[in-house]
């Protein structure tokens, strides 16, 4: 009814558990090293929200190169400011 397992029957299980333990330990060491040494940490540059919007718009919008249109837009801006 009960079968006694030999060590050879459990070898694949021990291999899998050993690999999981090894890589788990490796991950813990990496996390510890990254927290202790600030030179290894990734620094995120914080940019202004308005600057980010301006950069996104510059990616999508094409600048107007026609002088007549630029002149008309400048005149329109002056009219709107008054």
d(CA 21, CA 23): 6
Structure tokens at 56: 């996104």
Tell whether the model's pLDDT for residue 14 goes beyond 80. yes
Structure tokens at 34: 């990254």
Percent of the chain with pLDDT over 90: 18
Give the lowest-confidence range in 20-24, 36-40, 65-69. Answer: 36-40
Domain boundaries, the chain: 11-81
Q: What's the pLDDT at 1? A: 54
Question: In this structure, what DSSP letter does residue 7 have?
Answer: T
pTM: 0.43
d(CA 45, CA 54): 17
Torsion region of 79: left, alpha or beta (phi above 0 gives left; psi -120 to 50 gives alpha): alpha
**pLDDT class for 82, splitting at 50, 70, 90?**
low
Q: What's the pLDDT at 38? A: 73
Are 70 and 64 spatial neighbours (Cβ–Cβ below 8 Å)?
yes
Tell whether the model's pLDDT for residue 12 goes beyond 80. yes
């Amino acid at each position: 009814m009960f079968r006694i397992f030999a060590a050879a029957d459990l070898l694949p299980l021990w291999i899998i558990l050993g690999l999981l333990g090894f890589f788990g330990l490796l991950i813990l060491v990496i996390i510890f090293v990254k927290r202790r040494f600030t030179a290894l940490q990734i620094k995120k540059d914080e940019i202004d929200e308005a600057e980010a919007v301006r950069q996104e718009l510059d990616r999508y919008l094409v600048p107007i190169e026609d002088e007549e249109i630029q002149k008309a837009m400048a005149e329109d801006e002056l009219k709107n400011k008054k």
